[in-house]
Chain A
Amino acid sequence: MSNVTMTVNGKTVSGSVEGRTLLVEFIRNDLHLTGTHVGCDTSQCGACAIHVDGKLVKACTMFALEANGAEVSTIEGQANGDGSLNVIQQAFKDHHGLQCGFCTPGMVMAASALLKTNPKPSELEIREHLEGNICRCTGYHNIVKAVLAASGQDVSSIAAE
């Protein structure tokens, strides 16, 4: 076992992990932050998407020890200071961007990574950026709509309600 220390949602945390402990396992099992989901464990679905040093990554495809010393943010750190939903989360709620909600933490983390580098993405750019995030419920239209709305753009061009 080795010691690992990182900052998660602004708090310094540490623990003792095996070499093979995945970052997502450390986050869920040791830190009990279960908002980061495991949909596939084969790097395909993006339900485990988080930010490491500001970059979108799949927490199931990275070892906890690789994040030693890193700044990590997960869905639990996304709400506003007063506990209200942030603008992306609120847009998902307003535009019915989720049904079962399993993919949603990953979708929100992916969307926020996009809006940080591209504050006004086109519909195509949003769809391309979300290629690594699978949703089995919504058919994606309302997710795309939510991301467009979160970026302050008109959403009337997106078909499904």
Chain B
Amino acid sequence: MYNFEFKQPKTISDAVNALESDDAQALGGGQTLIPTMKQRLASPSTLVSLTAISEMKGICKNDDGSISIGGGTTHADVACHSDIFFGLKTLAENIGDAAVRNRGTIGGSLANNDPAACYPAAALSVGATIVTNSREISADDFFQGMFDTALEEGEIIVSVKFPVPSSSSYQKFVQPASRFAMVGVFLSNFGNETRVAVTGASEGGVFRWCEAEAALNEDFSDGSIKDLSIDHKDMINDIHASKEYRAHLVKVMTKRAVANAS
């Protein structure tokens, strides 16, 4: 990998300043960025590590009942925190492997928006709010396509605010070599509204399956989606699965999510 200048600010404002230098890149847990830099697919001249910023770590309950997770919080810390709801806990404890979960962060995962990453599905499904150093962005506006988000150059995810659904489930069909989702479905039920977000399947990255949401709003049971189907035209096609297979998996995983929601 090409060399770079390494900076490790202790506060968000110092990090924002450091990211103003030309060709600077933020580094979260590095579980995606470091392999990418080894392949020379990224070669920032300054790398600004966010791991020493204590105000970006940790999990707390807000007065309105929602949960805020610091952008620098690792998957392992999310997985074992007692305030985390069912679907999100399952999601965090099944990302990558144990060593990856000790380094990888929620902010890094969302900012990268890998089309097969798990966290984007949770954020979009519950309608989370992405809090950056300068503004708040709703999940519906945040994800803008494969590896693309609403973040501006140098903008940092400080925390993520998750409304807590009355029941939820994350069902991931694992691509066994990478442990990413071949298809992952996050379902959240807020009593009067159900939201279904799908990762791993579409060329456009994470998306909401609106037909399934409408059917589940009528009748929250796995039977209500049995006659639905999803168009495979925009699905990802690779050596692991065809478009048609991924489209099929979206439905299967959604049914499992309904049956498993807790």
Which of A18, A66, A68 lies at the interface centre, i.e. has the most chain B CB atoms within 10 A of its CB?
A66
Give the shortest distance, in Å, between A131 (CB) and chain B (any CB). 4
Decide: A66 and B49 in contact? CB cutoff 8 A: yes
A46 at the interface (CB under 8 A from B): yes
Contacts of A44 in B (CB 8 A): 177
Contacts of B98 in A (CB 8 A): 56, 110, 113-114, 129, 131-132
CB neighbors of B among A81-133 (8 A): 110, 113-114, 129, 131-133
Interface size on B, residues (CB 8 A): 26
Decide: B76 and A43 in contact? CB cutoff 8 A: no
Decide: B34 and A131 in contact? CB cutoff 8 A: no
Decide: B3 and A20 in contact? CB cutoff 8 A: yes
The listed residue (A19, A42, A57, A129) touching B5 by CB distance below 8 A is: A19
Residue of A nearest to B177 (CB): A44
CA distance A68 to B52 in the complex (A): 10
Decide: A63 and B99 in contact? CB cutoff 8 A: no
Contacts of A63 in B (CB 8 A): 6, 30, 34, 49
Contacts of A46 in B (CB 8 A): 97, 99
CA distance A11 to B199 in the complex (A): 45
B223 at the interface (CB under 8 A from A): no
Residue of A nearest to B31 (CB): A61
B194 at the interface (CB under 8 A from A): no
Main secondary structure of the interface of A (DSSP, over half): mixed
CA distance A113 to B101 in the complex (A): 13
Residue of B nearest to A59 (CB): B99
The listed residue (A2, A18, A42) touching B35 by CB distance below 8 A is: A42
Decide: B102 and A56 in contact? CB cutoff 8 A: yes
CB neighbors of A among B1-15 (8 A): 1-6, 8
A62 at the interface (CB under 8 A from B): yes
Contacts of B37 in A (CB 8 A): 20
Decide: A66 and B5 in contact? CB cutoff 8 A: no
Contacts of B34 in A (CB 8 A): 22, 43, 61-63
CB-CB contacts of B177-207 with A at 8 A, as 1s and 0s? 1010000000000000000000000000000
Interchain Cβ contacts under 8 Å between A and B, 21 examples: A18-B3, A19-B47, A20-B3, A41-B38, A42-B35, A43-B100, A46-B99, A49-B99, A58-B103, A61-B30, A61-B31, A61-B35, A62-B30, A62-B34, A63-B49, A65-B6, A66-B8, A66-B49, A66-B51, A131-B98, A132-B98
